[in-house]
Amino acid sequence: MDNAETLHIAYQELKEITGFFSDECLLGCGTFGKVYKGRNKDGHEIAVKLLRQTMDLDGSAFTREFNNLIKLKHPNIVRLVGFCSEDEKVIIECDGKPVTATDMHRALCFEYLQNGSLEKHLYEEHQGFDWQQRYTIIKGLCMGLKYLHMELESPIQHLDLKPENILLDNNMLPKIADFGLSRLLGEENTKKTISPLGTL
């Protein structure tokens, strides 16, 4: 994780740049956690995905997922800009007695995209896309999916692609986001899923 070391953002810093994970900075909620808007030390706005503590994601599993995400470099894929993986010892009460527990803090930080999700724009009739914008969005999505499916050494299947997981930058260019349900597929693995995943 040599290239990852410089991208680590301390949990305390994440709290500070998101107003201590305030409702005013909340961008959205999903199956795997909440996303907050923050501004890093360089002054750039970022989206901080704070993963739920109930997830079965230890340090090594998180590191593997981070290493998968950091490799993704494409103009139509949301760019990972940082991460947090810290464990904190806390005292909690169990059966009336104080015990030591581990509070896990896991977060992924992505570039912030000013125009939000495609879903927001699909249902705003007064701000409909012209055909050139529609073509640009469709082509960008196709290019992003082609990259994930055909141009990586270990292809990635998103498995939950929907309008709210397609974000638009300030030029209305689409970027595929939220790889929470992605699965790395090696050549020996089948590409057919037999379990229900994603959004109903």
- Please name which of 169, 147, 133 lies closest in space to residue 47, comparing C-alpha atoms: 169
The strand pairing partners of 87, in sequence order, are: 104
Check 2, 160, 169, 178 and give the catalytic one.
Answer: 160
Catalytic: 130? no
**How far apart, in whole angstroms, are the C-alpha atoms of residue 64 and residue 153?**
15
**How far apart, in whole angstroms, are the C-alpha atoms of residue 197 and residue 186?**
19
- Residue 178 to residues 38, 72, 166, 169: CA-CA distances in angstroms? 17, 13, 8, 15
**How far apart, in whole angstroms, are the C-alpha atoms of residue 196 and residue 200?**
9
The strand pairing partners of 34, in sequence order, are: 29, 50
Contact (CB, 8 A) for 107 and 84: yes
**How far apart, in whole angstroms, are the C-alpha atoms of residue 111 and residue 103?**
26
Contact (CB, 8 A) for 164 and 117: yes
User: Which residues are known catalytic residues?
Assistant: 160
